[in-house]
Amino acid sequence: MARFERGFIMLCDDSIEEECLERSLFGDKARKLQSLDEIRVGDVGLLLNINQDELIGIFRACSKAQLHIEPSAWKGRFAAQVRVELVSKLQRIKDAAYILNTAGVPMGQLSSGMPVPQYPVYERDVTEKIMAHFKEPIE
């Protein structure tokens, strides 16, 4: 497996997943930019589809988080954006909340009751535990 220092997890739902994948862009609300500031170019990234309880990966950050990399993405709803590249065959891992919890990711809940990571960025040890569930290694 390739060397990396940290990983990050960003959320999507069924309505925006396809656009995230097509644009190679992950996004969040502008007010979340500060919490995404720790993402560095080269960090391993995963997309968490909260409707499917599914981790989608494996990606690598090609940019730091910034506002409006693609202003038209998601009709402007998610201005805090990170450009990513797919680094292995696209993989989908079910039971994401369980995997994240057992890997040591502190979990919170959305107002809908869906479990989600409390923070977007995780150190190498936690990231490696999550990555162990993916079949295709990163290059």
The Cα 77–Cα 42 span in angstroms is: 25
Domain boundaries, the chain: 6-131
pLDDT tens track for 67-82: 999 999 999 999 999 9
Listed as ranges, residues in the chain with pLDDT below 70 are: 1-3, 137-139
Is CATH 3.20.20.370 the classification given to domain 6-131? no
Q: What is the pLDDT of residue 137?
A: 62
**pTM: predicted TM-score of the whole model, two decimal places:** 0.93
Report DSSP letters for the chain, one per residue. ----SEEEEEEE-TTTHHHHHHHTEEEE-GGGHHHHTT--TT-EEEEEETTTTEEEEEEEESS--EETSSTTGGGGT--EEEEEEEEEEEEEEE-HHHHHHHTT--EEE-TTS-EEES-SEEEHHHHHHHHTT-SSPP-
